[in-house]
Amino acid sequence: MPPDSTAEFFGNKPGCTLGGFPEYVVQAATVAQIQLAINFARNANLRLIIKNTGHDFGAKSVGMGSLSIWTHNLKESKYYENYKAKDYSGPAVKFGAGTQVYEANEFAKAHGITVVGGEGKVSKILQFGND
């Protein structure tokens, strides 16, 4: 990746030779596809990257020569009115790996429940280079 785009503000050092693009990308639509991709990466001794909707400001969603699994389209949502586990019983939800917080919130509102989720936000404009 160009040195001006290596997210130095996260402690990454300029001049990294790893690069920015994976060798292989799987646009996962099922859990079985993810399992196959992980086995392929293991057998081919490839770095494995999991990516949801886009990029990561710490550059953890990129890597030259890697296998990237894109989970953005795994958006299944399921509501359990009377979920029972060892230490809990009551309402619960299950979201696919590609579910974004706004989608989870919409789903919860439709079922009259609350979910907790996180979002990343850059609080100031970041400038790279010598400007």
Q: Where are the domains of the chain?
A: 20-70, 77-110
If we measure between CA atoms, which residue out of 17, 25, 20 comes closest to residue 67? 25
Q: Which residue(s) pair with 84 in the sheet? A: 89
**In terms of CATH architecture, what is 20-70?**
2-Layer Sandwich (3.30)
pLDDT tens track for 24-59: 999 999 999 999 999 999 999 999 998 887 666 666
Mean pLDDT of 56-79: 84
* Average pLDDT score over the chain: 81
- Separation between Cα atoms, residue 27 and residue 71, nearest integer Å: 7
Helix (H) or strand (E) holding 67: strand 67-70
Question: In the chain, what percentage of residues exceed pLDDT 70?
Answer: 70
Taking a C-beta distance cutoff of 8 angstroms, is the pair 105, 115 a contact? yes
CB neighbours of 123 closer than 8 A, spacing ≥ 6?
none
What is the per-residue pLDDT for 22? 87
The C-alpha atoms of residue 100 and residue 78 are separated, in whole angstroms, by: 14
51, 71 in Cβ contact below 8 A? Answer: yes
Count of positions (residues) in the chain: 131
